[in-house]
Structure 1
Amino acid sequence: MTHASILSIRSHFPALQPNAIRPPYIFFDGPGGTQMSRQALDAMVAYITGGMANLHGTFPTSVGTDALLDEGRQAVADLLNCEPQEVAFGQNMTSLAFAIARGLAGFINPGDEVLVTELDHRANVDPWVTLAKDRGAVVRFIPVSPETYTLELDDLGTLVNERTKLVAVGMSSNVTGTVTPVERIIARAKEVGALTVVDAVHAVPHLPIDFRTLGADVLLCSAYKFFGPHLGVAVVSAELFEKLAVYKLAPAPTDIPHKLETGTQNHEGIAGLIGALEFVQALGEGSTRKERLRAGLEAIDAYEQELAQELERFLLSVPQVRLYRAPAGTRKTPTLAFTIEGRNSREVAAWFAKRHHMCIADGHFYASTLADKLEVGPQGGWVRIGLAPYNTAEEIEQFKAALQEFLAE
């Protein structure tokens, strides 16, 4: 992307524009949630001001809301290459995961095995651990290498066996950025007839994803991680979705995907999701929305990788910094976690916020198994910088200078 195109991208984000009330922020907290694009905000306002309504009525605003949800499902289908009826909306990824876990109770029996990972955010661990506990199943973990920050898959054939009934794995770590070869894990799970759940929350903002090609049974993501509002999205293969025994109100719909959408949905949030995807597809070319979305994400990935590589080179050059980053040759998102010798990560993040108005996160980021294994708790967890397409090379240079200033104090 050129300097002019980056300026154009930044113009789509109200939070980046000059503000007389507060100083300009540098947003390095993309993994915790990106800023909202103007298209998403405008779509939400348009829905709200145009007349809000619930579903299935005969009057225009209700009919329009029905159409809005249909369009939202189709937009997600174009983003992830699934069928619209496989797309369900919810409060957030975590809530949807727990709801799906309850619905899968009939698939898990005492003595069965549920496989999760040491690398994942606990939102893709605890719903399945809870399911296993409720059903008397055994929980096993795919270990993470403390040297490479990648999953150790040499024993995958043993870890996934005839007793395995469900495998949950994250596509990309929200701490180290490591992109896991989930295709290999899904293929092995299929060999033994196990269900697969993919947490793509951290991957969707950076990587084109093809649900059909992956072959997963469930894929989860969140709109607020890709320039939209707080909204959870679940994609469930139609074959599994039809069998899913969800908790629901008796009069509520029994068809897919509606049976998973308990209560009234966040209609304005769904409007915002559509708007956010309009921003993404505007960055790409193609004759269809699906093609433009894929091209837009490819452009985002290429640009973010340039920034991340420069930031990685710098952090590796600073003796006091320990960078938790997979080695060259491993695909990674532009998310970099590090610690500073002798410094609490909370103290570090607060200093950058106060002195340089940089939004940098700290903590375990709910990847608590990984945090325990790498023993970062005594330092307050990690410091994490996560990049988005509105970040600039100039901001990276500002961070580099600020870190040198911090270390000199």
Structure 2
Amino acid sequence: MSQFSVEQLRAEFPALREAANKKPFIFFDGPGGTQMAQPAIDGMMAYITGGMANLHGAFLTSVSTDNLLLEGRKAVADLLNCEPEEVAFGQNMTSHAFSIARSLGPFITETDEIVVTEQDHRANVDPWVTLAKDKGATVKFIPVNPETYTLELDNLDELITEKTKLVAVGMSSNVTGTVTDIGKIIARAKAVNAIVIIDAVHAVPHLAIDFKKLGCDVLLCSAYKFFGPHLGIAVIAKSLFEKLPVYKLAPAPQEIPDKLETGTQNHEAIAGLIGAIKFIEDQGEGKTRRERLQSGMQRIEAHEQQLTDRIEKFLKQIPEVHLYRAPEGTKKTPTFAFTLNGIKAREVTSWFAKNYHMCIADGHFYASTMADKLGVNPMGGWIRIGLAPYNTMEEVKLFEQGLQEFISTHVKKQQV
């Protein structure tokens, strides 16, 4: 396999280029959304400038738009290893979750239980909690361990029972980066015939995904997290999708996946999604697109792991830093949440933005249940640095330099 070159990869991102009289940003906000790759931009512009149209017409631009959606589904199918007809597009992950939750109403009764987690982004909690409230069902939470930042799965059989009808869990935390053992959760849920919803929004940018192997019923992700435009993607197993009573207009298509796609879709974004997946494919090698995508993701993960090892070692050795990171041996994405003794999170991120042109985020990141449990909200939540494959070792070293400077001028000064 050819050598991975971060310089060549960075050349595919216009946002990273230095403009005249403008210092380039250092983007450490990947978990909130990556920058867009050139193939995604090219795809969007080609569709916009080549003639936009709605679907199902006899004229060429409409036929081309029909084909665009088909190709978008095929591209996602190769990325996630699902069937094209299992792929639906929409506004975002949250909208998809609420739409699916509403359609699952007929399957839920007041004697049923719905299981969510304390670790997840609220987009994979509140749609299902709302469903439970509407139907009078009981909600159970899989707890997060406040010391290991992993889900406590020892009592899974007591949480997921014969009464459980739906289990929603995130593949990876968008805060701590913890990759959950969802295989164990899915196996238990399937043993009691529960529907399984997987939030893979934070996982897809960093991990090779195999929907068929996972065996879940629904997997949700967003294109803007992996180098594309703002677009939601729902993968729904055909066995569930075909019987899902989706709320839709009467004349709209009844077949899958069209029946979930209410109204006119964001066609230019779907063109951008195809370009984003092509960008990942271009990083790998293989005879098929699926093989090239898997190879590309493996190379991205290997590069990010080098940077991860450096940052983790650095943050762990600083006494003033409280790092919320799962123990060694637990798989994690390149996402770090930490706090600094006595300092509000926004003070830190604002200082980095002003002095180092670094995009570092702060807050609870909608993982508000975990934020409450871990007591970080009084400090304005966490400081989060999240990597993408276009980040470099030089940028990591600058972050280390900046944090040491901030601590010496702000934290230690307070302690005197």
TM-score of the superposed pair, with normalisation by structure 1: 0.99
Shift of 1:152: 0.1
Cross-structure match for 1:98 = 98
Equivalent in the alignment of 2:166: 166
Structure 2 counterparts to residues 122-201 of structure 1, below 5 A:
122-201=122-201
Q: Structure 2: which 5+ runs fail to align?
A: 410-416
Give the equivalent residue in structure 1 for 2:414. Answer: none
| Letter in structure 2 aligned against 1:214 | L
Q: Distance in 1 between matches of 2:226 and 2:396?
A: 21
Partners in 2 of 1:270 and 1:142 — Cα distance? Answer: 35
Q: Which amino acid counterpart does residue 194 of structure 2 have in structure 1? A: A
Aligned to 1:288: 288
Mapping 1:11-22, distance limit 5 Å:
11-20=11-20, 22=22
| CA deviations over 1:250-283 (Å, ceiling 9, x no partner) | 1111100000000000000000000001110111
Q: Does 1:324 align with 2:341?
A: no
Deviation for aligned residue 1:21:
5.5
State the identity %.
69
Give the AA of the match of 2:81. Answer: N
Residue 25 of structure 2: aligned partner: 25
1:338 aligned to 2:362?
no
Structure 1 counterpart of 2:72: 72
Change (3 A) 1:3 1:208: closer
2:314 aligns with 314
Task: Give the distance between the partners of 1:5 and 1:321, measured in 2 at CA.
Answer: 32
Distance in 2 (CA, whole Å) between partners of 1:95 and 1:343 is: 35
Instruction: Give the CA RMSD over aligned residues.
Output: 1.0
| Matching residue's letter, 2:263 | G
What is the distance in 2 between the residues matched to 1:2 and 1:364?
40
The one-letter code of the counterpart of 2:15 is A
Residues 47-81 of structure 1, C-alpha deviation per residue, up to 9 Å, x if partnerless?
Answer: 00000000000000000000000000000000011
Distance 2:2 2:130 in 1: 48
SS of 1:235's partner is strand
CA distance in 2, matches of 1:370, 1:21: 42
Q: Separation in 1 of the partners of 2:191 and 2:366?
A: 31
**1:146-204 deviation digits (Å, cap 9, x = unpaired):** 00000000000111100000000000000000000111100110100000000000000
Distance, in Å, in 1 between the alignment partners of 2:21 and 2:125 is: 41
1:47-66 equivalences under 5 Å are 47-66=47-66
For residues 12 and 24 of structure 1, the distance between their equivalents in structure 2, rounded to whole angstroms, comes to: 15
Deviation at 1:20, TM superposition (A): 2.0
**2:4·2:299 contact (CA, 8 Å) conserved in 1?**
no
CA distance in 1, matches of 2:96, 2:401: 42
Please report how far the alpha carbon of residue 302 of structure 1 lies from its aligned counterpart in structure 2 after TM superposition.
Answer: 1.0
2: CA distance, partners of 1:24 / 1:408 = 26
Residue 306 of structure 1: CA displacement? 1.0
Q: Deviation of residue 305 (structure 1)?
A: 1.0
Q: Which amino acid aligns with 2:283?
A: L
Give the match's secondary structure for 2:22: coil
Distance 1:275 1:21, change over 3 A: farther
Which residue matches 1:40?
40
Q: Does 1:275 align with 2:252?
A: no
Change over 3 Å in CA distance of 1:2–1:344 after alignment to 2:
farther
Q: TM-score, normalised to structure 2's length?
A: 0.97
Name the SS for the 2:253 alignment partner.
coil
**What per-residue deviation string (whole Å, max 9, x for no partner) do you get for residues 278-306 of structure 1?**
11011110001000001100111111011
1:202 & 1:123 partners in 2: Cα distance? 12
Aligned residue in 2 for 1:208: 208
CA deviation string 1:215-252 (max 9, x = no partner): 00000000000000000000000010011111101111
> What 5-or-longer segments of structure 1 have no aligned partner?
none
Partner Cα separation in structure 2 for residue 363 and residue 2 of structure 1 = 40
